[in-house]
Amino acid sequence: MNQDWLMGLLGGGLIGTSAAIFLLANGKVMGASGLIGGLVDKSGLGNWQERLAWIAGLVIVPAIITMLYGGKPTNITGNIPVIIAAGLFVGIGTRIANGCTSGHGICGISRMSLRGIVATVFYIGAGGLTVVIFKHVLGII
Amino acid sequence: MRNLMAILAGSMFGAGLLISGMTNTLKVQGWLDVFGNWDPTLAFVMGGGVIPMALAWAYSKGRKPALGGEFPTFGKPEADKKLIIGSVMFGIGWGLAGLCPGPALASISFGGIGGVTFLVAMLAGMLLAPMVRAKLD
């Protein structure tokens, strides 16, 4: 198997296991946009410590791994207006839809949730169309 | 203990995102780029993630979370306007930058000015979301 696919499967297994731990121990759905967004709009301050602890792990561990073993660049575009627009769309969209790739994707699809499946179809569809238009038609990204 | 398990889950999530290549925006955009040089890695990440989580859901039936409380309950599933509009907006942003909320945080230590800009814009978007949501109600 292609090395990248194998790493994808391994990393995915780690992601799924982390979500399983969060569910079985803490009793919560591990959705990144919900855990972060609840602190930003103050709707989730009731368990702010748990949220901050989760965010700390998410930020610090990749930083340590990158420091020790070197990291691969994110290769994000240098086009700042595009980045700002993208960030705003991701922030607003995930909160209105109540989930992102982790919440609707991993946690939703794994319990065959209708909302999770519908959301995943629409964000992958919209993402695909966006790449086609902005990369192949307009040549911006 | 809850915080400790949250750190553990966040840490494993971050390591998983890094290992799987999901902090590389070109891999995400490569997955979305069906008319270009299509990269199926993300499907393997999703597959690898769904399996342990499906087992966890199955195990949770009839049990309670180890640290107390109740497992989440889900109301009648409704694919409403907000779910679809929000997901389309998320998809547009995801396609444009190749980052979603998890990887945006996981890569903040090495993502440079572009990564920081994205994160600040995303947090601003999350702050604005309740206003937008009210308009869709």
d(CA B107, CA A105) in angstroms, rounded, equals 20
Residue A109: pLDDT above 90? Answer: yes
Q: How many domains does chain A have?
A: 1
Interface test with A, best of B84, B99, B120, B126 (most A CBs within 10 A): B126
Looking at the partner chain, which of A9, A26, A97 has a beta carbon nearest the beta carbon of B44? Answer: A9
Give per-residue pLDDT as tens, B70-98. 999 998 878 899 999 999 999 999 999 99
What does the longest C-alpha to C-alpha distance in chain A come to?
47
Distance between CA atoms of A73 and B13, rounded to whole angstroms?
18
ipTM entry: 0.96
* Tokens standing for residue A1: 């198997």
Taking residues A80-96, what's their average pLDDT?
A: 98
Contacts of B67 in chain A (CB under 8 A): 25-27
Per the CB < 8 Å rule, is A24 touching B121? no
Please tell me the distance in Å from B75's CA to the nearest CA on chain A.
Answer: 11
Q: Work out the average pLDDT over A28-41.
A: 97
Strand, helix or coil for residue A132:
helix
How large is the average pLDDT for residues B118-135?
Answer: 97
**Rounded CA gap, A46 and A42, in Å?**
9
| pLDDT (0 to 100) of residue B17 | 98
Which residue of chain B has the CA closest to A24? B65
Q: Which domain holds residue A127?
A: 3-137
* pLDDT value of position A141: 87
CB pair distance less than 8 Å for B16 and A18: yes
With a CB-CB cutoff of 8 Å, which residues 71-130 of chain A face chain B?
71-78, 80, 82-98, 100-102, 104-107, 109-111, 113-115, 118-120, 122-130
